[in-house]
Structure 1
Amino acid sequence: MRLALMALLAWHDYRAEVRLSACAVLALVAVLAPLLVLFGLKFGLVTTLTERLERDPAVREVVPMGGGRFSAQAIAELATRPEVAFVVPRTRQIAATADLYPDSAAQALTVEMIPTAAGDPLVAPALLLQAPDQVLLSQRAAEKLGVQGGDVLSAAFGRQVAGRQEYQRTRLRVQGVLPLAAFQRDALFAPLALLEAAEDYRDGLAWPGHEPQANTARVYPGFRLYAADLDGVERLRRYFAERGLEVATQADAIAQVRSLSRNLTLVFWIIASLALAGAFAAMTASALAAVERKRRALSVLRLLGFSTGALVAFVVLQALYTGVFGLLLAWGLYGMAETGLNRLFAPAAGEFACRLLPSHYLLALLLTLFCCLLAAASGGWRAARIEASEGLRDV
């Protein structure tokens, strides 16, 4: 009851000195609003860059360099690692080509063949291959061939036997076309079995070239592998380095974004610390000045029976009023700045140049109120030392 009464008294006194209260609020806003905008830019920029990297499968790709020897079991063990989101064996690149012939033209297009399977980050779930004769084309290859999803084309695989050229032809159905952003070269995405058949055929075996002994002993020179997240890229690089296998990754690009995030965070906290130190000093001086200005009024309250805690609460509550109003106004100014900055930089859909999460607003509220409490502590300590006898002079 006494606390509610003291809160009411503090509020009426706060309103009575509206000009001084407004100055205190504006002084706090002058610190909070730029800090919110600065942190919003830092968070929005780093988040946008990080999300762009995460959305780009090429950034998470781990490519083995040189020729290796990987059994199907070794690649299956790779797939069980938590850092790995997708892995599939690759056949020799020299054997992983095909000549494609659309029904409407006799001119062939030579494309590279890339193995794919369920979970391929380059392939949308709707384009998942359901049959052995279904394939996917890159956009460039589809445009050159003049085909689209649902069309049928012929694939020819050539080899030389005893000095003569031989070809094996097969019919393939185009399940879909990958967007240009997914893959920019002329390519055919096919089940691994088709690439193995082409490799076996070019090695002199009969089509489709699947013999039990050869299949169980097959050794692959490489694989297609994508990490589960950005952190997994570096872990996989170290994993292969420990085993003497050199791989190409985008670890440098990921490290640059991480470094940018750390540097921006450091810059933000340096600026925030200096600004908050100045605001804290100003609020402390304001609280002390308010106690000195209202010393007689506070002594009268003490004379009327209000406790020391009530007098301290009087000073603290007024500081909290300043903090709440200052933060609300700073939020409003930040909201306008955020809208303007996002429109100015015009990021892609779903991206933000400046952004704060609800948790950031809550953190700003808690930190502001905490700083206001600390700043008011000196004024509260001064108010607690006021004696009731000082009010007798005004009775």
Structure 2
Amino acid sequence: MRLFLVASLAWQDYRSDWRLSACAVLALVAVLVPLLVLFGLKFGLVGSLTERLQRDPGVREIIPLGGARFDAAYVAALAARPDVAFAVPRTRQIAASVQLSQPGREALTAEMIPTAAGDPLLGSLPVPAQLTQVLLSHTAAQKLNVHAGDTLQALLTRQNAGRDSSRSMAVQVIGVLPLEAFGRDGLFAAPALLEAAEDFRDGRAVAAFGWPGEAAGDHVQRIYPAFRLYARGLDDVEPLRLHFARQGVDVFTQAAAIERVRSLSRNLTLVFWLIAALALAGAFAAICAGALAAVQRKRRELAVLRLVGFGTSALLAFVVLQALYSAAFATLLAALVYRLAQGGLNQLFVAQPGEHAAQLLPVHYLIAVLAVLAASLLAALLGGWRTSRIDAAQGVRDV
């Protein structure tokens, strides 16, 4: 009951001295709002950049370079790694091309890309379940004027033993990739179709289509010069690069772009904490000075409270509670001002929907409130130590 009484008296005195109370609140708001805006910009900017990188599968792609040689077991082992989201072998680039034709349209030469379940470029599009099912890139579909469900003629040509020959097949388009997923003329198909195209160009027989040629032999193991591989997350790109480096495999990655975002985050964090430390130190000193001034200014009132039976702890609580009132009002007002600033910043600087130039999560507001209350509590305790030197005799003289 004594605490509730002290809280009530502190509140009544806080309200009656509203001008000084408002000054204390506004002083804290002047410190908190820039800090909230700065942290909101840091979190929103870095968060948007990180999300943009995470949404772009090309950032997580790892491309082997040079004339390496991989077998199916090696690529399967890569796909089974926990830091790999997708891996599939690739045939020779020179053999992975096809001419696509549509009645009334000029033939289009497209790149053949192997795909399978889990391909990050496909998103929610269906995966080819049959040898003659394919997906087209946006540019290829636009040039051929085809849509999902249409049928195309795919023509493969070769020069073998000095003679030119060709084979055609009908392929069904089961989906079209968005432009941002793949910007070139491409045909995505099951790896078996690319292997068939490679066998045909090498003069080997392709049993799946009945194309004659040399028998490959059961003992011959297919060797792939490359693979398509995507890391599971941004943090997995650099470890995978180091893994391939230890194996002597040269790869190309976007690790430098990822590191630039990481470096930006670290630098902004350093700047934020430096400014926050200076600002909070100033606010802490101001609260301490305010508590000392309050004790000096209200010495008569505090002496009277001691005269009627309030101890040192109650008098200290009186001063601390008033500092906490100011902190609570300041954090609420600072949050409202920040919300207005956040809306303006996002409206001015956000170019893509879903991104934020400035953003704070509810947990950030909670941490800010707790930090301000804790700092105000400690500062008021240090500034209010002079209440222990107030005696009841002064209250008797002033009554």
Q: TM-score, normalised by structure 2?
A: 0.96
SS at match of 1:263: helix
2:281 matched to 1:282? no
Q: Which moved more, 1:322-331 or 1:376-385?
A: 376-385
- Secondary structure of 1:125's counterpart equals coil
Would the aligned equivalents of 2:115 and 2:127 in 1 still touch at CA under 8 Å?
A: no
Question: What runs of 5+ residues in structure 2 fail to find an aligned partner?
Answer: 210-214
- The counterpart of 1:386, out of the listed 358, 377, 390, is 390
What letter matches 2:304 in structure 1? Answer: V
Instruction: Report SS of the residue matched to 1:330.
Output: helix
Q: Is the 1:115–1:190 Cα contact (8 Å) retained in structure 2?
A: yes
Mean Cα deviation higher: 379-388 or 355-364: 379-388
**Runs (4+) off by over 6 Å:** 209-212
| Matched residue type, 1:169 | S
Q: Does 1:328 pair with 2:332?
A: yes
Alignment of 1:30-179 (within 5 A): 30-105=30-105, 107-179=106-178
Which whole-Å CA distance do the structure 2 matches of 1:215 and 1:2 have between them? Answer: 92
What is aligned with 1:183? 182
1:25-81 deviation digits (Å, cap 9, x = unpaired) = 000000001111111111111100110000000000000001211111111111111
One-letter amino acid of the counterpart of residue 258, structure 2: I
Shift of 1:209: 7.0
Any gaps of 5 or more consecutive residues in structure 1?
A: none
Alignment of 1:208-287 (within 5 A): 208=207, 213-214=217-218, 217-287=221-291
Tell me the distance in 2 between the aligned counterparts of 1:234 and 1:183.
Answer: 23
Aligned equivalent of 1:369? 373
CA distance change for structure 1 residues 249 and 215 in 2, over 3 Å: closer, same or farther? Answer: farther
Aligned length: 394
Q: Displacement of 1:377 after TM fit?
A: 1.2
Aligned residue type for 1:39: F
Q: Which amino acid aligns with 2:74?
A: A
Secondary structure in 2 matching 1:289: helix
Give the share of equivalent positions with the same residue, in percent. 62
- 2:116 touches 2:127 (CA, 8 Å); kept in 1? yes
Task: Tell me by how many angstroms 1:278 deviates.
Answer: 1.1
Q: CA RMSD in A?
A: 1.5
TM-score by length of 1: 0.97
**How far apart in 2 are the matches of 1:332 and 1:109?**
58
Q: 1:128/1:180 Cα in 2 relative to 1: closer, same or farther (>3 Å)? A: same
Matched residue type, 2:160? V
Indicate yes or no: 2:341 matched with 1:341.
no
Name the aligned partner's letter for residue 303 of structure 1.
Answer: L
Structure 1 range deviating more: 272-281 or 362-371:
272-281
Q: Does residue 1:360 correspond to 2:349, yes or no?
A: no
Answer yes or no: is 1:196 the counterpart of 2:195: yes
Q: Aligned partners of 1:212, 1:295: CA distance in 2, in Å? A: 101
Taking the aligned partners of 2:356 and 2:178, their CA distance within structure 1 comes to 24
**Are residues 128 and 25 of structure 1, via their aligned partners in 2, closer, same or farther at CA, if it must alter by over 3 Å?**
same
- Give 2:212's aligned residue: none
Greater displacement, 252-261 / 158-167: 158-167
1:284/1:214 CA distance change after superposition, 3 Å: farther
Shift of residue 240 of structure 1? 0.5
- Distance in 1 between the 2:383 and 2:270 partners? 32
The 1-side partners of 2:86 and 2:290 are apart by 61
Equivalent AA in structure 1 for residue 277 of structure 2? S
